[in-house]
């Protein structure tokens, strides 16, 4: 195959890992191409992940407020109706504006978007649908895909993945969500707010397994109050879809008597796995780990010189901002700089209401590693702004080293938790102590005062409780 063009860097995948790596590499003076097989840039995140799910979460929350919360504020609205077609159209508009934004950024930074499916034919060589390109560096940023569940075949009609869960044209009467992770709970929340009966079936005895246990228990109670039903310690072993819905077989996770359950729609959200299909990795000899992640060293280099990988395709939390940070770090490393990601300070957020946000170590992890710690907690019921907003569910929890007072972890459930956690991420990046945060003057009345109070509570000196 004749070589069509040569680049310093060819990034395979235009998601937040790939496109950010491409932009940063171009900013640093490299000649960069990004290959994307989708019709639009932005990857899972912008097309079928973070952005469309947040658009629907926002819209469904507006609907829920109009039907359930506004009267308490003295705002009376009669005849609230759901226009799901418009809600979905708005979601598409949001996605479209975002993906076009990435296209604009590529033009601005002179990143060449090669449209098509890439295959690494040799170190330094990438074939895209019959055209060959060479590069000093190849970056695998091909992301992830939903994990299939044996016995439950996704048809994107009655048995759907998260992608189908973002596109329903009617509110299901009963939505059964398999998997109590953040994707299942966010989509479950969307359809619950719009009127569906929602049951979450989870194999483990708890939801959101990576999050702090105390916060997760509070979270489950909050979602239960909203009418979401939970079947923990339960596995789905089979599902049969027909025109009138789906019949599922449920069994206790530990084994026991099976039962049948009916649902109109079943959402399979049991996790995601790296996607490297068709890339030619086996032929080139790129090593994968047992979970299918591309193996990399601390500099995102694979075992084959000149081939690098990042984002959901490698180990670590499958989060857009983790992928993006790796994109920047790798581009800087390729430019001879000291790119670095601090994996101890990567926030994780569940965008339900209340929101849930977490950073650093959980209480369970600290106990397991035998680290002595102090806990400071502050509830939103004692925060003036949360009361004014009518959003008092939840609390801020800070875990600090018992000897040094250094913040080791922070966990928030409550209004705008995803934004509030950024203050603690900043503090942790600077190696701050709980006292450092407690001594910062926080504006009144703000939700962030709950963060300050939790920091004060680490030393048993909270003022407003
Ligand atoms: C429903 C849902 C909600 C989510 N919400 C959040 C959230 O709120 N916050 C968050 O941080 N994360 C969220 N995520 C996760 C987030 O989307 C991923 O962590 C992120 O997109 C990973 O980025 P990436 O660049 O590694 O891969 P991706 O975004 O998956 O991008 C990879 C791209 O590579 C392309 N590709 C693959 N193979 C080839 C090939 N051979 N040739 C050319 N192109 C190829 C794919 O088409 C894809 O566009 C969510 C995910 C889902 C499914």
Residue 22, classed as helix, strand or coil, is helix
Residue 392 phi/psi, 5-degree rounding, is -100, 0
- Cα 19 to its chain centre, rounded Å, is 17
CB within 8 Å of 117: residues ≥ 6 apart: 35, 37, 128, 129, 278
Q: Pick from 10, 11, 14, 15 the residue to mutate for probing ligand 1's pocket: most ligand atoms within 8 Å of its CB.
A: 15
CB-CB contact of 300 with 329 (8 Å): yes
Atom of ligand 1 nearest to the CA of 348: 11
Atom of ligand 1 nearest to the CA of 54: 8
CB-CB contact of 304 with 123 (8 Å): yes
Residue 39 phi/psi, 5-degree rounding, is -70, -15
- Cα 435 to its chain centre, rounded Å, is 30
Q: Is the dihedral of CA 205, 207, 210, 215 positive or negative?
A: negative
Q: How confident is the model at residue 243 (pLDDT cuts 50, 70, 90)?
A: confident
pLDDT digit string, tens, across residues 326-335: 999 999 999 9
Ligand 1 pocket residue status of 18, Cβ below 6 Å? yes
Spell 98-135 as b/e; 16+ CB within 10 A means b.
bbeebbebbeeeebbbbeeebbbeeebbbbbeeebbeb
374 pLDDT above the threshold of 80: yes
The reported pLDDT for the residue numbered 4 is: 86
Residue 250 DSSP code = E
Q: Which residue has the higher pLDDT, 187 or 243?
A: 187
Q: Whose CA is nearest to atom 34 of ligand 1?
A: 13
Catalytic residue (one of 73, 299, 340, 444):
444
CA of 175 to the centre of ligand 1 (A): 25
417 pLDDT above the threshold of 90: yes
Query: Of 5, 7, 8, which Cα lies nearest the Cα of 334?
Result: 8
Q: What whole-number distance in Å separates Cα of residue 68 and Cα of residue 182?
A: 24
Ligand 1 pocket residue status of 358, Cβ below 6 Å? no
Q: What whole-number distance in Å separates Cα of residue 312 and Cα of residue 326?
A: 10
Average pLDDT of every residue of the chain: 97
CA of 141 to the centre of ligand 1 (A): 9
Q: Whose CA is nearest to atom 44 of ligand 1?
A: 36
Q: What whole-number distance in Å separates Cα of residue 154 and Cα of residue 148?
A: 8
pLDDT digit string, tens, across residues 90-110: 999 999 999 999 999 999 999
CA of 47 to the centre of ligand 1 (A): 8
Cα atoms in the 13 Å half-sphere on the side-chain side of 394? 28
Q: Whose CA is nearest to atom 49 of ligand 1?
A: 43
Q: Whose CA is nearest to atom 13 of ligand 1?
A: 50
75 pLDDT above the threshold of 70: yes
The reported pLDDT for the residue numbered 1 is: 63
Instruction: Clarify whether 321 is annotated catalytic.
Output: no
The reported pLDDT for the residue numbered 9 is: 98
The reported pLDDT for the residue numbered 369 is: 98
């Amino acid at each position: 195959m004749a070589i069509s063009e040569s680049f310093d860097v060819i990034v395979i995948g235009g998601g937040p890992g790939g496109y950010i790596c491409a932009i940063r590499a171009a900013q640093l003076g490299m000649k960069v191409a990004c290959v994307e097989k989708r019709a639009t840039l932005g990857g899972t995140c912008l097309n079928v992940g973070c952005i469309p799910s947040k658009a629907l979460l926002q819209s469904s929350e507006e609907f829920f407020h109009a039907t359930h919360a506004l009267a308490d504020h003295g705002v009376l609205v009669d005849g609230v109706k759901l226009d799901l077609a418009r809600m979905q159209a708005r979601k598409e508009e949001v996605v479209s504006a975002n993906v076009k934004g990435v296209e604009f950024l590529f033009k601005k930074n002179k990143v060449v978007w090669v449209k098509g499916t890439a295959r690494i034919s040799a170190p330094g060589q990438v074939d895209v649908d019959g055209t060959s390109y060479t590069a000093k560096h190849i970056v695998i940023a091909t992301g992830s895909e939903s994990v299939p569940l044996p016995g439950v075949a996704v048809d994107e009609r009655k048995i759907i993945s998260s992608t189908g869960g973002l596109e329903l044209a009617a509110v299901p009467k009963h939505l059964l969500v398999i998997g109590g992770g953040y994707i299942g709970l966010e989509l479950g929340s969307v359809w619950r707010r719009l009127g569906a009966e929602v049951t979450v079936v989870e194999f483990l005895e708890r939801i959101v397994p990576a999050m702090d246990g105390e916060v997760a228990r509070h979270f489950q109670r909050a979602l239960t109050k909203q009418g979401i039903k939970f079947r923990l310690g339960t596995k789905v072993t089979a599902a049969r879809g027909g025109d009138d819905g789906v019949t599922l077989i449920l069994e206790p996770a530990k084994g026991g008597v099976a039962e049948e359950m009916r649902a109109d729609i079943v959402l399979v959200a049991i996790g995601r796995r790296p996607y490297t299909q068709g890339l030619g990795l086996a032929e080139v000899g790129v090593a994968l780990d047992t979970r299918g992640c591309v193996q990399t060293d601390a500099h995102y280099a694979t075992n084959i010189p000149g081939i690098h990988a990042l984002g959901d395709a490698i180990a670590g939390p499958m989060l857009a901002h983790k992928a993006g940070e790796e994109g920047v770090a790798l581009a800087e490393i390729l430019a001879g700089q000291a790119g670095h990601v601090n994996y101890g300070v990567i926030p994780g957020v569940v965008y339900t209401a209340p929101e849930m946000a977490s950073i650093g170590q959980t209480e369970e992890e600290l106990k397991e590693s035998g680290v002595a710690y102090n806990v400071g907690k502050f509830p939103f019921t004692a925060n003036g702004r949360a009361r004014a907003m009518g959003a008092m569910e939840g609390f801020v929890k800070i875990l600090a080293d018992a000897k040094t007072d250094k913040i080791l972890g922070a966990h928030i459930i409550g209004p705008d938790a995803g934004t509030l956690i950024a203050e603690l991420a900043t503090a942790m990046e600077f190696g701050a102590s709980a006292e450092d945060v407690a001594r910062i003057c926080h504006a009144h009345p703000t939700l962030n005062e709950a963060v300050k109070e939790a920091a004060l509570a680490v030393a048993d000196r909270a003022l407003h409780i």
